[in-house]
């Protein structure tokens, strides 16, 4: 992956354009990831075992070109190369007809978005700047889960995760302004229990419930301060699906999440409720659906942060309440023998590109 980010700014002086060296920026980044995989699986009567190993070799380099006036920004560059192993193990055991157990462990890597590595400073307003961090490192997570399924409808899962080099949005005080950038906070530990169930209330009503209690602890050292925060968060999700006579169907769903913490940020409780109704038409080949998302307009993320003797609050108002009318039509018969699409590494790289500019 090669990126070439150029932002040119000019000042109009006496009808002559002059380069604004305080804002003009040219940043080059190159990354190459090589991987090898091995996967084994075996079944022993009621026990199934699957194990895999992925080896990755990562090489990347960045180059921040300087401007003509060296006191504004000097030319700088960085590079790194490393090799990592990512094992996965999965066990499944059928206790009897109504009970089964699964145990899995996996190690994964999450790399920062490319724009988050760009060291240039963006002026959001006179009190807030946004900047990239060329020294931002990927985070590595070890996760283990133990699940029990009863009668194919009730699943209970215990999970534990340990993330090293955890990165998130950070806030640094610089004079009267705040600089927002992604940074490696340190370590995140999480543990929780989740319950999911699918219940047929009646012949025409199916309810799917999901609940999760999760404990998160963040510890590290950032901008000269120790970080040691934790919180327990409850998440509830309910989805009701209705199938009526005459080709009519409906859906009523929603979620609620209690107060949570993410690094330096404390997020207050929030939730959302959505509904939809649909009708099959044209001999069941077509469908018309009217849906309303967040009709109570409660999905408004807000919270606060306390850092470097600074207290700040935030509240986001976005277009979460939406109404959509859709029509779908199926041509011919569904094709047989076509499985799900395989995900390639290009999809992960695409997700790491901030196409919307500053986030």
Q: What is the DSSP string of 46-81?
A: TEEEEEEEEEEEEEEEEEE---SSTTT---EEEEEE
The Cα 86–Cα 53 span in angstroms is 6
Contact 180, 131 (CB under 8 A): yes
Domain assignment present for residue 25? The answer is no
How does residue 268 score in pLDDT terms, banded at 50, 70 and 90? Answer: very high
Q: What kind and span of H or E run contains 154?
A: strand 154-174
pLDDT at 70: 47
Q: Is the pLDDT of residue 354 over 80?
A: no
The number of distinct structural domains making up the chain is 1
Domain assignment present for residue 203? The answer is yes
Q: Is the pLDDT of residue 29 over 90?
A: no
Q: Is the pLDDT of residue 356 over 50?
A: no
**Tokens 């044209």 belong to residue:** 282
Could you say which DSSP state residue 347 is in?
Answer: H
pLDDT (tens digit, 9 = 90+) per residue, 133-180?
A: 888 899 999 999 999 999 999 999 999 999 999 999 898 888 888 889
Domain assignment present for residue 163? The answer is yes
pLDDT at 358: 44
Listing DSSP states for 36-47 in one string gives EEEEEEEEETTE
Q: How far is CA 175 from CA 46, 127, 139, 270, in A?
A: 64, 9, 30, 33
The Cα 185–Cα 222 span in angstroms is 6
How many degrees, rounded to 5, is the angle at CA 89 between CA 86 and CA 91? 170
Q: How far is CA 180 from CA 30, 132, 166, 305, 339, in A?
A: 24, 9, 16, 12, 43
**Tokens 């309303």 belong to residue:** 292
Q: Any idea what the CATH number is for the domain that residue 163 is in?
A: 2.40.170.20
**Tokens 């949005």 belong to residue:** 169
pLDDT at 113: 87
Q: What are residue 227's DSSP bridge partners?
A: 220
Could you say which DSSP state residue 245 is in?
Answer: G
The Cα 317–Cα 148 span in angstroms is 40
Domain assignment present for residue 333? The answer is yes
Domain assignment present for residue 126? The answer is yes
Q: What pTM was computed for the model?
A: 0.79
Domain assignment present for residue 125? The answer is yes
Q: Is the pLDDT of residue 347 over 70?
A: no
Domain assignment present for residue 55? The answer is no
**Parent domain of 275:** 95-351
Q: Is the pLDDT of residue 132 over 90?
A: no
How does residue 72 score in pLDDT terms, banded at 50, 70 and 90? Answer: low
Question: Encoding tokens for residue 339?
Answer: 């499985």
Mean pLDDT of the chain: 88
Residue of 347 and 320 predicted with greater confidence: 320
| Other beta carbons within 10 Å of 270 | 19
| Closest C-alpha to 110, from 163, 159, 189 | 163
pLDDT at 160: 98
Mean per-residue pLDDT for 309-316? 83
| Other beta carbons within 10 Å of 152 | 10
pLDDT at 22: 72
The Cα 264–Cα 215 span in angstroms is 16
Q: Is the pLDDT of residue 342 over 80?
A: no
Instruction: Kindly give, in sequence order, each residue whose CB lies less than 8 Å from that of residue 196, ignoring residues fewer than 6 positions away.
Output: 154, 155, 157, 208, 209, 210, 211
Domain assignment present for residue 18? The answer is no
pLDDT (tens digit, 9 = 90+) per residue, 272-299?
A: 999 999 999 998 899 999 999 999 999 9
The three-state secondary structure class of 124 is strand
How does residue 357 score in pLDDT terms, banded at 50, 70 and 90? Answer: very low
Question: Encoding tokens for residue 278?
Answer: 């649909």
């Amino acid at each position: 992956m090669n990126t070439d980010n150029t932002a040119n700014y000019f000042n109009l002086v006496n009808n002559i354009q002059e380069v604004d060296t305080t804002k003009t920026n040219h940043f080059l980044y190159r990354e190459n990831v090589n991987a090898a995989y091995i996967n084994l699986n075996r079944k022993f009567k009621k026990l199934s075992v699957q194990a895999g190993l992925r080896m990755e070799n990562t090489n990347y380099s960045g180059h921040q070109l300087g401007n003509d006036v060296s006191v504004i920004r000097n030319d700088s560059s960085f590079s790194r190369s490393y090799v990592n192993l990512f094992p996965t193990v999965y066990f499944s055991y059928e206790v009897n007809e109504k009970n089964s157990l699964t145990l899995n462990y996996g190690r994964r890597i999450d790399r920062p978005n490319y724009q988050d590595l760009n060291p240039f400073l963006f002026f959001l307003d006179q009190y807030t700047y946004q900047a990239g961090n060329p020294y931002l490192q990927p985070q590595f997570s070890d996760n283990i889960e133990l699940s029990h399924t009863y009668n194919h409808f009730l699943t209970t899962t215990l999970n534990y995760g340990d993330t090293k080099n955890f990165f998130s949005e950070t806030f640094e005080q610089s004079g009267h302004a705040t600089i927002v950038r992604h940074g490696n906070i340190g370590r995140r530990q999480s543990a929780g229990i989740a319950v999911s169930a699918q219940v047929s209330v009646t012949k025409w009503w199916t309810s799917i419930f999901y609940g999760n209690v999760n404990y998160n602890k963040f510890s590290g050292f950032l901008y000269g301060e120790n970080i040691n925060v934790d919180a327990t968060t409850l998440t509830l999700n309910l989805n009701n699906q209705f199938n009526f006579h005459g080709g009519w169907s409906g859906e009523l769903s929603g979620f609620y999440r209690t107060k949570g913490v993410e690094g330096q940020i404390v997020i207050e409780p929030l939730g959302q409720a959505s509904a939809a109704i649909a009708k099959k038409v044209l001999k069941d080949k077509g469908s018309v659906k009217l849906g309303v998302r967040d009709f109570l307009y409660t999905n408004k993320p807000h919270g606060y942060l306390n850092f470097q003797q600074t207290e700040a609050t935030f509240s986001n108002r976005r277009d979460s309440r939406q109404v959509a009318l859709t029509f779908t039509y199926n041509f011919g018969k569904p094709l047989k023998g076509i499985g799900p699409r395989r995900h390639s590494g290009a999809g992960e790289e695409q997700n790491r590109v901030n196409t919307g500019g500053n986030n």
